[in-house]
């Protein structure tokens, strides 16, 4: 008869030392990336109401925030720019002497060792809030498409210009987040041709058209002014499509793949981790962060325990690194 050892479950759980000894997943500040928002034209940081403890920084305060993050031992930031003036093609994202290149330069001067990842997208820079140029405003205009369709190849050209400009200013990595087809290859080519072959690309490869980005739209002021992002972001019901996006982006030259959001897509992270050979990042997005804070404010759960549990779940699913608004609290030992 088979022998089922009694107490097997509990023998190794009896003390914290035993539990530490057999723990399979650990969280480390080494694998965290802190997002930062910089807004042109403000003179002091503005709190983001739906994201407690997070701010829209001014071009000065963002440098101080980056310095603190670096001093805490967090290896990287993800930088989002919010220009004072938006237009149809998002010019401020690729203007060489614009606020975003100035900001990148100042941060890198103050924190040379901090990895500055530039979120590369147009929704914060265009007046319509879509992640690229519209068909009607594009040099690649097609009469077969709706004038308001986000033009794929016209956007690629702008992504190339903006990426080269951000790297010239000092960005250490480019993270295209617009889900435009061919964006990795286009940016890789543009960087290689500009002698920036050493600069890696983190692709938001598997990004869903999610309701969990709600609070971010307040933070980055990039909500679409009409329609939604379902033409370019993925359908929340699909997994196979995500694996295909991932393979495609690896073939195009991505160095790191991202899944976004994290907590509602742990199955996708897990599948991808078993399928691909390059590092996987997961973005614990604004809605995930806001949700935990809101429940905590109501007294319904313990924020730090729930935050740690959610971060562990993302790691356990197979993510190598996590973009998270909890990065600073974790590094400060507040979680
Ligand atoms: C821009 C972008 C978004 C987020 C990161 N980059 C918003 C969106 O796609 O609508 C969301 C991040 C978050 O919710 O924390 N493309």
DSSP for 270-284, please give it: HHHHHH-SS-EEEEE
Q: Is the C-alpha dihedral spanning 196, 202, 205, 210 positive or negative?
A: negative
Tokens, residue 118? 């530039």
Give the per-residue pLDDT at 29.
Answer: 98
Q: Residue with the nearest Cα to atom 6 of ligand 1?
A: 177
Give the per-residue pLDDT at 139.
Answer: 85
CA 174 to chain centre: 11
pLDDT tens, 189-200?
A: 999 999 999 999
| For residues 59-74, average pLDDT | 98
Q: Is the C-alpha dihedral spanning 279, 151, 91, 86 positive or negative?
A: negative
Do 314 and 262 meet the contact criterion of CB atoms below 8 Å apart? yes
pLDDT interval class at 174 (50, 70, 90): very high
Give the per-residue pLDDT at 2.
Answer: 73
CA-based nearest residue to 179, from 231, 216, 223: 231
Tokens, residue 238? 């699909």
Host H or E run for residue 61: helix 61-71
Q: Residue with the nearest Cα to atom 7 of ligand 1?
A: 213
pLDDT interval class at 142 (50, 70, 90): confident
**What does the CA dihedral 83, 86, 91, 96 come to, rounded to 10 degrees?**
-20
| For residues 3-12, average pLDDT | 84
CA 178 to ligand 1: nearest atom: 16
Tokens, residue 150? 């986000």
Q: Residue with the nearest Cα to atom 14 of ligand 1?
A: 213
What are the percentages of helix, strand and coil residues in the chain, rounded to 5? Answer: 40, 15, 40
Asked whether residue 114 carries a pLDDT value surpassing 70, the answer given is: yes
Q: Is the C-alpha dihedral spanning 132, 137, 141, 143 positive or negative?
A: positive
Percent of the chain with pLDDT strictly greater than 70: 100
Per DSSP (E only), the strands in 86-132 are 115-120
Task: Give the total residue count for the chain.
Answer: 335
pLDDT interval class at 218 (50, 70, 90): confident
> Distance (Å, rounded) from C-alpha 48 to C-alpha 301?
22
* Lowest-confidence segment of 67-71, 109-113, 134-138 by average pLDDT: 134-138
Q: How far is the CA of 21 from the centre of ligand 1 (A)?
A: 38
Q: How far is the CA of 131 from the centre of ligand 1 (A)?
A: 10
Q: Are strands 321-324 and 280-284 parallel, antiparallel or unpaired?
A: parallel
pLDDT tens, 154-169?
A: 999 999 999 999 999 9
Q: Which contacts qualify for 7-12: CB closer than 8 Å, 24 or more apart?
A: none
Asked whether residue 237 carries a pLDDT value surpassing 80, the answer given is: yes
> Distance (Å, rounded) from C-alpha 245 to C-alpha 278?
14
| For residues 291-314, average pLDDT | 98
Q: How far is the CA of 151 from the centre of ligand 1 (A)?
A: 19
Give the per-residue pLDDT at 1.
Answer: 63
When the pLDDT of each residue in the chain is averaged and rounded to a whole number, the result is: 95
| For residues 43-67, average pLDDT | 97
Tokens, residue 29? 């500040």
Do 77 and 66 meet the contact criterion of CB atoms below 8 Å apart? yes
> Distance (Å, rounded) from C-alpha 220 to C-alpha 215?
9
Give the per-residue pLDDT at 177.
Answer: 94
Three-state secondary structure call for residue 16 = helix
pLDDT tens, 256-299?
A: 999 999 999 999 999 999 999 999 999 999 999 999 999 999 99
| For residues 27-43, average pLDDT | 98
Give the residue numbers annotated as catalytic, written as ranges.
Answer: 207, 260
CA-based nearest residue to 327, from 54, 106, 138, 7: 54
> How many Cα neighbours within 13 Å face the side chain of 1?
3
Q: How far is the CA of 216 from the centre of ligand 1 (A)?
A: 6
Ligand 1: residue of 34, 178, 205, 216 to mutate (most ligand atoms within 8 A of CB) is: 216
Three-state secondary structure call for residue 68 = helix
CA 80 to ligand 1: nearest atom: 6
Ligand 1: residue of 124, 285, 323, 327 to mutate (most ligand atoms within 8 A of CB) is: 285
Q: How far is the CA of 120 from the centre of ligand 1 (A)?
A: 11
Q: How far is the CA of 263 from the centre of ligand 1 (A)?
A: 15
Superfamily of domain 27-331: Aldolase class I (3.20.20.70)
Do 307 and 332 meet the contact criterion of CB atoms below 8 Å apart? no
Q: Residue with the nearest Cα to atom 10 of ligand 1?
A: 213
Q: Three-state secondary structure along 141-181?
A: CCCCCCCCCECHHHHHHHHHHHHHHHHHHCCCEEEECCCCC
CB-based pocket (< 6 A), ligand 1: 119, 121, 123, 131, 177-178, 213, 216, 222, 229, 285-286
Q: Where are the domains of the chain?
A: 27-331
Q: Residue with the nearest Cα to atom 8 of ligand 1?
A: 213
> Distance (Å, rounded) from C-alpha 202 to C-alpha 132?
18
Q: Sort residue 173 into left (φ over 0), alpha (ψ -120 to 50) or beta.
A: beta
CA 216 to ligand 1: nearest atom: 14
Q: How far is the CA of 71 from the centre of ligand 1 (A)?
A: 26
CA 131 to ligand 1: nearest atom: 16
Residue predicted with more confidence, 96 or 260: 260
């Amino acid at each position: 008869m088979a022998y089922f050892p009694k107490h097997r479950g509990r023998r190794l759980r009896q003390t914290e030392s035993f539990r530490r000894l057999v723990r399979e997943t650990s969280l480390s500040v080494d694998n965290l990336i802190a997002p930062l928002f910089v807004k042109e034209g403000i003179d002091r940081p503005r709190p983001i109401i739906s994201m407690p403890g997070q701010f829209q920084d001014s071009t000065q305060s963002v440098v101080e925030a980056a310095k603190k993050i670096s001093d805490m031992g967090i290896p990287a930031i993800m930088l989002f720019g919010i220009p004072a003036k938006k237009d149809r093609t998002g010019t401020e994202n690729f203007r060489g002497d614009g606020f975003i290149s100035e900001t990148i330069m100042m941060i890198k001067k103050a924190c040379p060792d901090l990895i500055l990842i530039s979120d590369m997208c147009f929704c914060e820079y265009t007046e319509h809030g879509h992640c690229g140029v519209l068909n009607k405003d594009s040099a690649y205009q097609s009469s077969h498409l709706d004038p308001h369709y986000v033009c794929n190849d016209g956007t690629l050209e702008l992504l190339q210009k903006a990426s080269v400009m951000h790297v010239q200013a000092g960005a250490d990595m480019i993270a295209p987040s617009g889900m435009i087809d061919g964006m990795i290859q286009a940016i890789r080519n543009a960087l290689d041709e500009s002698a920036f072959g050493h600069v890696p690309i983190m692709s938001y490869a598997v990004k869903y058209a999610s309701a969990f980005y709600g609070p971010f739209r307040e933070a980055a002021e990039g909500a679409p002014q009409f329609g939604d992002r379902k033409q370019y972001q993925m359908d929340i019901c699909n997994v196979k499509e995500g694996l295909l996006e991932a393979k495609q982006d690896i073939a195009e030259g991505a160095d790191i793949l991202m899944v976004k959001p994290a907590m509602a897509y742990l199955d996708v992270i897990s599948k991808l981790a078993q399928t691909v050979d390059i590092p996987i990042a997961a973005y614990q997005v604004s809605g995930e962060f806001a949700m935990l804070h809101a429940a905590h404010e109501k007294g319904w759960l313990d924020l730090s325990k729930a935050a740690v549990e959610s971060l562990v779940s993302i790691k356990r699913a197979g993510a190598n690194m996590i973009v998270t608004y909890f990065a600073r609290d974790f590094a400060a030992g507040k979680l």
